[in-house]
Structure 1
Amino acid sequence: MTKFATIFAALFVWGAAALAQSSGASGSNDAAASLVADSLTVDEDGSLVADGNIEVVFQGRKLTADKITYSPKSDKLSITGPIRLSDGTNIRILAEAGELDSAFENGILTGARLVLNSRVQIASEQIQRVNGRYTQLYKSVASSCQTCLGNPTPLWEIRADRVTHDNIEKQIYFERAQFRFMGVPLAYIPNLRMPDPSVERYNGFLVPRAISDSNLGIGIATPYFITLGDSRDVTLTPIIATETTTLAVRYRQALRDGFITAEGAVSRDTLRPGETRAYLFADGDFKLPNDYKLALGIQLVSDRAYLLSYDFSNRDILVNDAKLSRVKRNNYVEGTIVDTYSLRDSVDNDTQPNLSADAIYERRFAPSGVGGQAYAKFTLHAHERKSNANVVGRDVARTSFEGNWQRSDVLFGGILGTAVADASFDFYGIDNDSNYPPNLSRSNATIGGEFRLPMQRFTSRGTSHLLEPVAQLLYTASSGEEPPNEDSTEAQLDEANLFSLSRFPGVDRRETGLRANIGLKYRQITASGWNFGATVGRVLWQEDTGLFNEGSGLDGIRSDWLAALELSLPNDLSFSSRNLINDGFRFTQSETLIEYDKGPLRLATGYIWLRPEPAIDRDTNVSEWNFLADYRVNDNWKAVTDWRYDFEAQSPARAGLSLTYTNECIEVDLSISRRFTFNDEVDPTTRFGFSLALLGFGDNNSSRKIRSNRCRV
């Protein structure tokens, strides 16, 4: 009985190997196995016969059959079905009958089907096992589409004279194959190789995509994936169209302590006859000894219009940088080199501070004697322009030191008081600008206090209310000369900086004089999941310092009122709005965002309005509406649309729509997009895209929830 069970256990190992899950397993006499059958007898010729409801279980694998006969003379097994071999949830063989040799490496199953990962079925007149590695199927039909009795023709199928499954390489080879769609032959392929459903990475073609572009013409993109070991791969995508020939490349590499990614393309087209156009974007992040991190970025392009013409990227400023940093509990170190290049037609890169370098050291500590918390910050900065012309070719180097101290205490009546002291010193070296001396220095000293009165209330229904009036009184004295303003040309008022020492983003400008930051914060949180917050405030100065641009909402002796709201509901709906309102109760700036993400619908829409600010070259109002919707109609259909409308231009800026249909065996994607904006080098563009993917081969779509076609009774 034990030997007989072992034979069938070994048979089961053979079945698992045929299904690409075991490459050389065989039974041993002492292998743990179990055999269940209605009867077990020995014939007169010595053959062992198991009959009726046979079930063999061996190492998690399972074989069922109606009858199995083992002949010691021929050393062969004869199996009568229906036969079912399974290996967990990944592999199954279904057959009517079969015969195997004693080594279980060679044998034939007739009237068989090979089912891989419950995705791909290969039906065959017979299955043959060769040398314990290959499973060969003859006169076969392969598909991942469900069929019904009333409509036995799958949506797509591959018919082949012979199909070979290599359970070592995890590949399926088709010989003299014919591809059919809805039963109609569309292509004849002498030899075809496809990965089996267990493969996640393997050399081969990915899903091609047909494109139609009003500037580039009609064509097709055919990506080819190449593995370069376990940690590297490259994808080559030839794009052949009526107006362009392009090769796009993507490279990825995972390292033990980092990663590298790169993408690029090279093109020859009719838009710029005789020119070779190209771009390269690359990023790398690396962990170094002593907790240091290195980040590298490369962005290069042959001409200003290339990225937009091919829809590779909407970037209008390229950044090449290297950053070395380390973050500790009480200190921060950073060194950065940055080279930028603008793709805007209106920008002269020779007069822009494109090349810059920075070094930062910041340390936090608790000073003895006075208590509280303090930090010291030391920075070095330098930038240069390519131009050597006076004023427009200005180069600047700066050394800065800043020290800050704060201490908070609870005062009478529950008031939370904070004392603030800050001092900074900046030394500048200036070249190529006769408006400034070669060297200048400036120092600032700030003292002040902040007072908050948090008042909280809880209701019987579990609702929390928090009301917090806040007032800051600050005074900054400044001495020395004012440097050229390179890093603080744009300042704005928002919730993050309402109670800051300065609203400027850089150090070339710092707020001075006597000022008060006042505001009121409110927060409500309910037990049912409602979360509402509001902030109202403004800044008051003793006198107009003239530091802020007209149109920023911060000029004069009183800033505009900041009114910020945020609301999140338990049904995954969120709303946020930030507005600046002048004393005449007129909006001077407004930004609103609404988001919804629940179930099949993901929605985001936003509106922004900015008034002119000539100092930063914004000569007209900005009024734009953005909209994005992602809706899964059902398990098969998905629609995505995006929209950006410019109210000042009274025209859309961009619009797009894509529809995707997915079932158990196919994915069809259809998209259309239109870019309405243009410049001297790029015209408005309409682009169509179409792709069709056969699912089931490789690891595509394995984790998605999809609905199979249902058979009607």
Structure 2
Amino acid sequence: MRRRLLALCAALGLPLLGALPAAAQMTATLAADSLSVTGGSLLTATGSVEAVYDGTRLTAQRLTFDREANGGAGRLTVEGPILIRTPRGDIFTADQAQLDPQLQNGLLRGARLVLDRQLQLAASRIDRVDGRLTALTRARATACRVCDGGPPLWEIRADQIVHDEEAQQLYFDDASLRVAGLPLLWLPRLRLPDPTLSRATGLLVPEVRSSSQLGFGLRLPYYIRLGERRDLTLTPWLARHADSLGLRYRQSWAGGWLRLTGAASEDDLQEGPRGYLLGEGLLALGDGWRLGFDLELASDNAYLSDYGISEADRLDSRLRLSRVQADRLALAQVSFFQTLREDEATGSLPPVLAQSRWESVQALGGGRLRLQLSGDALWRTEAGRGEAARDVARAGGSADWRRDWVLGPGLLAETALRAGLDAYGVTDDPAFPDRLARLRGDGTATLRWPLRRATAAGGADVIEPLVQLGWSDHLGQTPPNEDSRLVEFDEANLGLLDRLPGEDLTEEGLRLTLGGSWTHMSPAGWSTTTTLGRILRDRAQPGFSATSGLGGRSSDWLLAGQILLQDGFALTGRSTFDSAFDLSRAEARVDWDGSRVGLAAAYVWLTRDPAESRDETVSEWNVEADWRLTERWSLAAETRYDIAADRASRAGLGVTWRTDCATVDLSATRRYTSNRDIAPSTDLGLSVTLSGFSAGREAAPTAAQCY
């Protein structure tokens, strides 16, 4: 009959307890099929032996404890197969072992160590020292599955590997990297983080990159841990036609954070040093006040494009002070703009813009009253295309009141009133007086009637007609339009009191807005929404661009729709057109987030409009897709095509091969557009990541296999 003995060490017998301290006697546990004591000092346990001490668990076939050995400290002799699990998750396996009674120090032969279920270290001998150091002699390390009769995909062999549990580091002596058994790289000394370490000073994953403009090069990012809340990454890039040093600094504290990214370069494309600097940060000042900044600077128009950093053609930097409360907002902001466009000068943007705003919201007369004070100032240093080097400053205030009702058979009624006063100062433009003032007012009354019906199949239809009567006008002089040049007419602002993004431009006269939406919800899980609307006025509307859809006595028709499918597919479209069905703008977007396929595609069409700085018709589509072919292979692609010019603007392809122990990324990007500052270019990139060593990374979620 199988007999199993399980007891606390306090009840196990004096021969084992004599070598343990009093605290250990409360936590040590031993279980076995058979237990015997010989000579009063030798304890032998055989058959399914399990010993637990302070969270460390050992299982074996045979265990012998000699209380008199090791100078009276005692020694455990264990015969395998042996399995040891530590509280931090490390796993030891061995054929034979000699350990101290606390299972902390000792010698293991024919042993293997598994760290964080990712990295395997095999050795002919493992020595445990001081409860924190593990020394492996004639060792191998890999995160790949080790198969009988063949080498793993990759491994590092070394005369000795030392694992420091406290520092979470691995130290290699006389190490060689092998791929499929073939030695590729030898290093006399090597230090790598173990997989449990999230942040460690050292080299990050290198990247090989080849550029048609800068030549073949190698990026070697080096991460420097400056403390618990700070770090610095330096990235030298040595290429045939360029030398560059990139940096990224990050810091966080209880009341904010800071991030800076930049680079300094010298290359054969332009004379002298080149570079860029991007930054953002936030600082809490107390009592709800926050100070934040955004920084975007580049040495020249082509740097960001040449080095594959960004395709932005305008950069903006901001310093802002804000306070947001439940019923109040305070904001002060200064912005600096830099253009990277070939046909535009920074001094004409304008480059400097200062803004301030204060808002307060409170209940009044069953509705909501919002009070606002605001100011803007902008400075130009040179004239733009067809415009003077005009400087403008504005100060003003406004009050608007809104109230909603539910009437009769479910009618939703809304009333909104607004009045505002603005004072302007204009310099360096003879087309406007130096001082001007304007009083403006708006009012709307809106009726919506949501109607819902259930279908026989279990779905639902919701129809919501919209009728709005509005009035807007102003007294005084008309200021220059600086902040309402790009006006969007869409379903979101169809029924709003004010459709303009800024303060300078105002709608005029009486207007009637007619529209409605229809939503169908299928019991199968998909839905569609369609919105149609138009604005009719008593007079022609000046100030709007031809393609805004809001000019003249009648606006363009607005048609927008959306289809949402249950499998993550979404189609959205929007267009504006006149009564003759001539389009002024159209756009569409497709998104699909499937289990194996991800897709984001967009199309835009805009007619020529010099008022919006668009001298040619824009017709362009952009596609980004990724496809998981198998468990290990995936593809990613992107392309942008200019239909109006009948040429590609950009194309890219990425291939990823992912295993349980390595990830290889290969990418190719082609930029076709060019001007006097930016030339077409082709970039190739290659990076290899080995699982088990990258700080903060987990093993790839793929099934292990032999290679």
TM-score normalised to the size of structure 2? 0.94
Cα separation, 1, equivalents of 2:495 and 2:276: 44
Deviation at 1:45, TM superposition (A): 7.5
Structural mapping, 1:498-647, within 5 Å: 498-647=494-643
The equivalent of 1:306 in structure 2 is 303
Aligned residues of 1:636 and 1:707 also touching (Cα < 8 A): no
Cα separation, 2, equivalents of 1:3 and 1:520: 81
The equivalent of 2:4 in structure 1 is none
Deviation at 1:104, TM superposition (A): 6.0
Aligned residues of 1:307 and 1:314 also touching (Cα < 8 A): yes
The equivalent of 1:47 in structure 2 is 42
Shift of the 80–291 alpha-carbon distance from structure 1 to 2, 3 Å rule, reads same
The equivalent of 2:90 in structure 1 is 91
Query: What amino acid does structure 2 have at the position aligned with 1:378?
Result: L
Shift of the 703–155 alpha-carbon distance from structure 1 to 2, 3 Å rule, reads closer
Structural mapping, 1:392-411, within 5 Å: 392-411=388-407
Structural mapping, 1:444-455, within 5 Å: 444-455=440-451
The equivalent of 2:174 in structure 1 is 176
Deviation at 1:558, TM superposition (A): 1.2
Deviation at 1:105, TM superposition (A): 5.9
The equivalent of 1:483 in structure 2 is 479
Cα separation, 1, equivalents of 2:486 and 2:213: 37
The equivalent of 2:121 in structure 1 is 122
Q: String of CA shifts for 1:579-637, please: whole Å, max 9, x gaps.
A: 11221123221100111112121111111111111212212111011111112223322
Deviation at 1:447, TM superposition (A): 2.9
Cα separation, 2, equivalents of 1:635 and 1:201: 29
Cα separation, 2, equivalents of 1:461 and 1:195: 60
Cα separation, 1, equivalents of 2:13 and 2:132: 21
The equivalent of 2:671 in structure 1 is 675
The equivalent of 2:367 in structure 1 is 372
Query: What amino acid does structure 1 have at the position aligned with 2:403?
Result: R
Between stretches 413-422 and 353-362, larger displacement belongs to 413-422
Shift of the 477–125 alpha-carbon distance from structure 1 to 2, 3 Å rule, reads closer
Say which of 183, 191, 194 aligns to 1:185.
Answer: 183
Shift of the 6–214 alpha-carbon distance from structure 1 to 2, 3 Å rule, reads farther
Query: What amino acid does structure 2 have at the position aligned with 1:344?
Result: R
The equivalent of 1:468 in structure 2 is 464
TM-score normalised to the size of structure 1? 0.93
The equivalent of 2:234 in structure 1 is 236
Say which of 25, 28, 35 aligns to 1:30.
Answer: 25
Give 5+ residue unaligned stretches, structure 1. Answer: 14-25
The equivalent of 2:106 in structure 1 is 107
Aligned residues of 2:660 and 2:701 also touching (Cα < 8 A): no
Residue aligned with 2:431, SS:
coil
Query: What amino acid does structure 1 have at the position aligned with 2:367?
Result: G
Deviation at 1:325, TM superposition (A): 1.6
Cα separation, 2, equivalents of 1:560 and 1:499: 15
The equivalent of 1:22 in structure 2 is none
Deviation at 1:232, TM superposition (A): 1.0
Shift of the 130–516 alpha-carbon distance from structure 1 to 2, 3 Å rule, reads same
The equivalent of 1:74 in structure 2 is 69
The equivalent of 1:131 in structure 2 is 130
Cα separation, 1, equivalents of 2:42 and 2:225: 51
Between stretches 472-481 and 544-553, larger displacement belongs to 544-553
State, as a whole percentage, how many aligned pairs show the same letter.
35
Shift of the 158–268 alpha-carbon distance from structure 1 to 2, 3 Å rule, reads same
Q: String of CA shifts for 1:258-303, please: whole Å, max 9, x gaps.
A: 2111100011111113x11111111002333122222211112211
Shift of the 160–516 alpha-carbon distance from structure 1 to 2, 3 Å rule, reads same
The equivalent of 2:428 in structure 1 is 432
Query: What amino acid does structure 2 have at the position aligned with 1:91?
Result: D
The answer to whether 1:333 aligns with 2:330 is yes
The equivalent of 1:266 in structure 2 is 264
Q: Indicate the structure whose relative CO is greater, using CA pairs within 8 Å and at least 6 residues apart.
A: 2
Shift of the 589–74 alpha-carbon distance from structure 1 to 2, 3 Å rule, reads same
> How many pairs does the alignment contain?
694
Let me know the Cα RMSD of the aligned residues. 2.4
Cα separation, 1, equivalents of 2:585 and 2:698: 47
Say which of 324, 339, 357 aligns to 1:360.
Answer: 357
Query: What amino acid does structure 1 have at the position aligned with 2:526?
Result: W
Residue aligned with 1:288, SS:
strand
Aligned residues of 2:658 and 2:700 also touching (Cα < 8 A): no
Cα separation, 2, equivalents of 1:5 and 1:548: 92
Q: String of CA shifts for 1:635-679, please: whole Å, max 9, x gaps.
A: 322211111110011111111111111111111110001011111
Give 5+ residue unaligned stretches, structure 2. Answer: 1-6
Deviation at 1:48, TM superposition (A): 1.7
Q: String of CA shifts for 1:513-537, please: whole Å, max 9, x gaps.
A: 1111111111222333222211101
Deviation at 1:53, TM superposition (A): 1.8
The equivalent of 1:20 in structure 2 is none
